[in-house]
Structure 1
């Protein structure tokens, strides 16, 4: 399939994990992809991998906490590709919870909200005129099951819940202008973020009705659907890609008398 032939795409936080998988998936379907990240070396590595497959990819620095950096990234995408059709807001921050809520650090809380929620706001604001001009614009936000249920991480969860609300309100605003806005809510996904914290995501696989944790490619497939014309009549949607964990309490079912 080449559902994104000739599409210009910008993905934030795409130097690794879910963002990198999304970049590979959309590029494989014909997209011209701008891979943005604060870690430019990682972004360059992903872009190089995609170019080796014969697709078009560029890397660019973007700190979603900096409005000027966001605007520069959007402008660069339009300059490189001649248009911007798809924005994928994947960048985030997530600090560990304090043992007691009252001991939460205000600066860490503010950073999680700024990068995970306000960062997406900045990107949407900068990209929207170009998405409108494309005539087929789409925004896909990467949320989390944390925005729907309690899985810990107070600030991150609040930010992802806010991102769900932003998705819906922006869908209502942008829909009449021809731009669709949707959100993918992943459950536990096997990324480097787990190993960096010394944790094994497979430790929770039995909590999932489908018996495994997610892979970045699972999320990328959902993003590709929502960004494509296959989802032409879908906007304001929250799509759980979570192995069923928000639908079925497997742990309770297994232990209940």
Structure 2
């Protein structure tokens, strides 16, 4: 039996790099998937293409920053797909200012709103139904930026807040048999990096030295971790923070070399 057989999953940021991989893996594992993204035309086009190929998909184009519009879009999809069993709160806005000195109050407010309030809105569309059925799985997509100082302070603060939010959900909703976990990817080879790679083609190569696995992630590798946490294979895992980062958060090899005068 497939891992997500018979489950209905809501995936936000569904037409982005990681989101696309999540949708594909969930479908392969037997789930019905509601695709949600602010890019309405892309959502409709992708949903149509998948439906024509025989996959059970449903469109919910909406901005996660607008709770009323998001709820209306998700409710319309639920009427066709059925009650939501899994929520993957993946949508986010990449960090804008790189340093505190360049971060305005407006930029701080926007990054916090986009990356925290939006996830809260997403989960709010499904949590009452999950509690009523006393069953559900929530996976939040965070970032290693929420675990260490890696630039983009407002975005990083938002991602750190998501770790705490996930733990609150795990603690408070556990009595309803609802699990909540968060994955924290490192660098992932997605279209979001296109502008930086265009300006500096060697961007990914310069980052490799920081990763013990000596490479950056592919979207499907993040999706596989999310599928595991969403599935019953992780039935006793809740409140977990899982780095999907090629060992980045395990330690600093370059600093270790300097301290020990040995090459690790």
TM-score bracket, shorter-length normalisation: over 0.9
2:25/2:224 contact within 8 Å kept? yes
Q: How well do the aligned residues superpose, as a CA RMSD in angstroms? A: 1.7
**Separation in 2 of the partners of 1:165 and 1:255?**
34
Partner of 1:176: 175
Higher-Rg structure is: 2
Deviations 1:173-211 (A, max 9, x none): 111011100000000000011113335333312211011
1:11/1:89 contact within 8 Å kept? yes
Deviations 1:208-239 (A, max 9, x none): 10111001001100000000000000111000
Query: TM (normalized to structure 1)?
Result: 0.93
Sort the Cα spacing of 1:53 and 1:218 in 2 relative to 1 into closer, same or farther, 3 A.
Answer: farther
Deviates more, 1:4-13 or 1:130-139: 130-139
> Secondary structure, in 3 states, of the residue corresponding to 2:60?
strand
> Secondary structure, in 3 states, of the residue corresponding to 1:246?
helix
**Separation in 2 of the partners of 1:39 and 1:86?**
22
Q: Is residue 227 of structure 1 aligned with residue 226 of structure 2?
A: no
Deviations 1:40-79 (A, max 9, x none): 2222343245335532112221111101122123312321
**Separation in 1 of the partners of 2:42 and 2:104?**
29
Partner of 1:145: 144
**Separation in 2 of the partners of 1:44 and 1:212?**
34
Q: Is residue 79 of structure 1 aligned with residue 82 of structure 2?
A: no
2:210/2:248 contact within 8 Å kept? yes
Correspondences of 1:43-82 after superposition (within 5 Å): 43-51=43-51, 53-82=53-82
* Residue ranges of structure 1 left out of the alignment (5+ in a row): none
Sort the Cα spacing of 1:4 and 1:113 in 2 relative to 1 into closer, same or farther, 3 A.
Answer: same
Partner of 1:118: 117
* Residue ranges of structure 2 left out of the alignment (5+ in a row): none
**Separation in 2 of the partners of 1:53 and 1:20?**
16
Deviations 1:133-167 (A, max 9, x none): 44431110000001111111101100000000000
Q: Is residue 217 of structure 1 aligned with residue 220 of structure 2?
A: yes
